[in-house]
Chain A
Amino acid sequence: MNFRELLKSNSFLYLDGGMGTMLHLSPGELPERLNLTEPERVAAVHRAYAEAGSQVVYANTFGANPLKLEGTGVDTAETVQAAVRLAKAAVPADVAVALDLGPTGQLLQPAGSLTFDAAYEAYKTVCIAGAAAGADLVVIETMSDLLETKAALLAAKENTDLPILVTMTFTETGRTFTGCPISAMAVTLEALGAAAIGINCSLGPNEILPLIQSLSKWTTLPLIAKANAGLPDPVTGEYSITPEDFASYMPAFAEAGVKVFGGCCGTTPDFIAAMREVLRGREPVTPNQHRPLAVCSGIRTVMLDMPRVIGERINPTGKKRMKQALLDLDFDYLRGEAISQTDADADILDVNVGTPGIDEAAVLPQAVQAIMEVTDLPLQLDSSDPAALEAALRIYPGKPIINSVNGKAASIAEILPLVKHYGACVVGLTLDENGIPNSAEERFAIGRRILDAALELGIPKEDLFLDCLTLTASTGGDGPVQTLRAVKMVHEELGLQTVLGVSNISFGLPNRPLINRSFLSIAMQNGLTLPILNPMAEGMMDTVRAFRMLAGFDPNCEAYIAACQNAENPQAAAPVQQASSSLTLEGAVIRGLRQDAAKLTEQALQTMEPLDIVNQLLIPALDTVGADYEKGTVFLPQLIQAATAAQSAFGVLKAHMADQGNAGGKGKIVIATVQGDVHDIGKNIVKLLLENYGFDVIDLGKDVPPQKIVDTAIAQRVSLVGLSALMTTTVGAMEETIKLLHAQYPECKTVVGGAVLTADYAEQIGADCYAKDAKATVDYARTIYGE
């Protein structure tokens, strides 16, 4: 049974229909257990589908993964093997048996707490068992999260040689439940090497048809459709559509490019037979020959159909504060840069964490994860370390850009295979063992060499972008001219996307912004499509918008006009307050005026030491608000508003102190939401207030294992650990953390908080202090650090 051949043949291919529907499960019955206890019941379903004309049956392994089966007593490998074997025995030899991978049932980070590696390992177990039992192909179905889908796909690709089909589940909005759009699914999965892709479950054929039509525009792969039999009735549990009604939609599906047909929830062998009947005599339409060029994250696709801006800010080169933040594994700074570039309308963000003293392979994936928590934008993974690139490529949920490969033989040999395996785009730098050639022709030749090497590996031509390298204009000579010529040649002769780091051009010259934006316009006119720049820098985004408008990428000037309007009335939540001469820094904090607080802090720095500003101005102001809060004359929102104003003052102080090379506040505190708990906001409020009072808060985030909390507390020699738990089921993890801390680091104190805790409960689990809110936490921390 060669499934790949079958898929290539010029005829439709029929999968099976619902399994759960056919098994008639009673409440609480676990389908995967039946493979072991009642194999005949499962085999009968496969037989019925094969008899109705299914050419592929899905083994009963949809929910067979270690994460779902935990605690059921069913062993994953055992049930998977049994399922595949019984299916093979049940159907004739010309019917293929698919190993069926469904969702793990858990959400991956950042939406949930499952890690990529855990998901991958779960799928790997299933793939190895299924392939060993003789599955003919792997199907990944009913997926919602693109990263989870990628984990399953990589597990199948890296542990079996089987063809892989993938179908995801969409809502009427054209997105999955986790927000993945059809475009991102298609762009990512085709690049990762799926043999066919499509849509299953959740909706009936009527609702899926338009989604399939939109999918067909995004891929050259054969399409799969497996709709539900309408919707189930909540009172009777019955589905609404008959086999004939269902089948009547199929010619339209075929016209939209579907080649592989099947059914999902509520469908039965009659549906398969009816579909075959309706499609008899028809032939599949020729699939698309071209796919739109795009990169994506798990939730946003960026088409490369006009100049797109790659934000350059996440790069420690020349940024003391970012370097320090990276060394401390404090990703808040990166998150901040990601948010501000996103707000400034960058299209893609470059992520570079290379700085001495850092293990890039460990830090780059963590940085990528932190950034993806706060932005939808696709990322450009920027490193010269292949191990770091690979680590980040694995956990990145869409189609990223790798920055970079170059003309050196070693670079080509190390980087291009990663590009191919992980389905990424890549920036090729036009330099080689001999450095950066002077002439455009020589740079072009290197670019061409990289292209040939990429094509040889089967990397699609359009996935290579070339960077013809910006040299500093101030060194004299015709550097800028050669760069521009090379860009033009690449654009016109190779038709590739081109990348340039724009701001290098003006290094050492007066009025850099002028040079930068002038060079940017000229370069775009010469074919630059992916400028790397600082989107917050004066005039840069304006230049891009103006170019897009003038060059015909912005019909009716809509985007241009909208951006101008936004600039005129910035939607600052708080109306910009005039820092009236009478306003003091304390007053600004008490009234929660952020911009004023920042401005007044800058003024204060001219005459005062940072620590004095904290102790003499900020803390007394916060104390005033805190006292009113306790009296009940001020409430939580006003307290937080004051705290955010103080935070903006701290931002100014921190930048100042980093420049002076001294850090150091009042003392370090580790805080975390305990393992199993993913509620964050209460803890983050506590963190904000603690930072206001000058404490260095090491925030380990949510769902943090006890040992990690203890290890960090010891390594950082903190005197206080704060723990948060919102529900009774996670208070156990809190207790365990405290026990472990007592055993390994007894001198450390603990403060706990969260909805279901009380002072009694806190005492029972051995905590030193129960804090009912953030203010109480600060009060306790101040006693610990001897104020």
Chain B
Amino acid sequence: MKPSDLNRDEILMLLRTPALDAELETMLDECTEELCKAVQPRTIWRMLPVGHSDEGVRVGGLLLGGKDIALHLTGCKQAVLLAATLSAPVDALIRRAEASDMMKALMFDAVAGAAIEAVCDELEQSLHESLGFRYYTARFSAGYGDFPLNQQKDLITMLDAPRKIGLTVTQHNTLLPMKSVTAIIGLSDQPVKDARRYCCGKSCGECPNRDGCVYAKNPEDEKGSTQ
């Protein structure tokens, strides 16, 4: 992964700053460089059948909790379940920095957030190119809206993610390595209505956490970003 693969605005968003002075800018460049070297992106995905019923939506036979994911997959007969991780060395790098230099730790953490996003975007792009559906929903993750976090274990088991990409989940539903994501993308030949985007810092959709969230976009900005 190269620094140029990353979205600088996103990094600044995660650093909660509109801009940096020259000195911090240099430091961020160095941190970005170092983090990119540590990143070992790994992804795994499966295409699975989707079934809607009164109970909710099933993906690959697994019943997913909550209304939000069911709405997200409306009209889809198929979906991609994916997981992505930057791998363990990134966590180690951040952990070390936390013990020696919090400024760097903060920067590594923000760059890692943008890096995993970039990994997901790239995978998503390649799926769009290879799967041949006409419409794709945005990524929707466990923990967003009312899609329960405690289904993380089922999702990563379905992907055999521990064995395939070294991604595990704790008993309290945290993915480890930390800089990791699971998500579902609906596939359809009909237009999809996936208004429920939860892209932190870009568009809040109907995110229940938007009130008081430090990254929340104000509604004015948002009109521009969610076509």
Contact = CB atoms under 8 A, between A and B. Distances in A.
A728 interface: yes
Given A374-B99, A773-B214, A179 B88 contact: yes
A20 B220 CA distance: 52
Contact of B88 (A177, A237, A676): A177
B66 interface: no
Interface in A201-224: 201-202
B95 A636 contact: no
A375 B100 CA distance: 11
A437 to B, nearest CB: 43
Interface string A630-645: 0000011110110110
Chain A interface size, under 10 / 10 to 19 / 20 to 34 / 35 or more: 35 or more
Interface string B1-23: 00000000000000111101101
A263 to B, nearest CB: 15
Interface in B42-99: 42, 44-47, 60-62, 87-89, 91-92, 94-96, 98-99
Interface stretch (B102-110, B114-122, B191-199): B102-110
B102 A685 contact: yes
A684 interface: yes
A681 B109 contact: yes
A573 B30 contact: yes
Interface in A434-466: none
Given A339-B100, A681-B105, A727-B149, A638 B163 contact: no
A556 interface: no
Contacts, number: 163
B171 A676 contact: yes
B176 A202 contact: no
A775 to B, nearest CB: 12
Nearest to A636: B16
Contacts of B125: none
B178 A27 contact: no
B170 A332 contact: no
A644 B101 contact: yes
B223 interface: no
B168 interface: yes
Contacts of A700: none
Contact of A142 (B107, B150, B163): B163
Contacts of A525: none
A335 B89 CA distance: 18
Contacts of B170: 106-107, 112-113, 676, 678
A336 interface: yes
Contacts of B21: 638
Contacts of A107: 88, 168, 170, 176-177
Nearest to A770: B212
Q: How large is the interface on B (under 10, 10 to 19, 20 to 34, 35 or more residues)?
A: 35 or more
Contact of B163 (A202, A332, A573, A728): A202
Contacts of A169: 163
Interface stretch (A184-192, A494-502, A754-762): A754-762
A373 interface: yes
Contacts of B26: 573
A332 to B, nearest CB: 7
Contacts of B177: 107, 111
Contacts of A339: 96, 99-100
B100 A758 contact: no
A27 B60 contact: yes
B170 to A, nearest CB: 6
Nearest to A169: B163
Which interface residue of A177, A679, A729 has the most chain B CB atoms within 10 A? Answer: A177
Contacts of A67: 171
Given A677-B174, A759-B212, A177 B165 contact: yes
B166 A27 contact: no
B88 A28 contact: no
A70 B171 contact: yes
B40 A234 contact: no
Contacts of B150: 729
A664 interface: no
Interface of A: 26-28, 67, 70, 103, 105-107, 110-113, 142, 144, 169, 171, 173, 176-179, 201-202, 234-235, 237, 265, 332, 335-336, 339, 373-375, 571, 573-575, 592, 635-638, 640-641, 643-644, 647, 675-681, 684-685, 688, 727-730, 733, 755-756, 758-759, 772-773
Interface of B: 15-18, 20-21, 23-24, 26-27, 30, 40, 42, 44-47, 60-62, 87-89, 91-92, 94-96, 98-107, 109, 143, 149-150, 154, 158, 162-166, 168-174, 176-178, 209, 211-214
Given A70-B171, A113-B170, 13 more contacts: A105-B168, A106-B168, A177-B42, A177-B88, A179-B89, A235-B46, A335-B99, A637-B17, A679-B178, A680-B98, A681-B105, A727-B149, A758-B211
15 contacts: A28-B61, A107-B170, A169-B163, A201-B163, A235-B46, A336-B99, A592-B23, A635-B15, A636-B16, A637-B17, A637-B103, A640-B106, A756-B209, A759-B212, A772-B212
The 6 closest A-B pairs by CB, nearest first: A177-B166, A676-B172, A27-B61, A635-B17, A636-B16, A335-B99
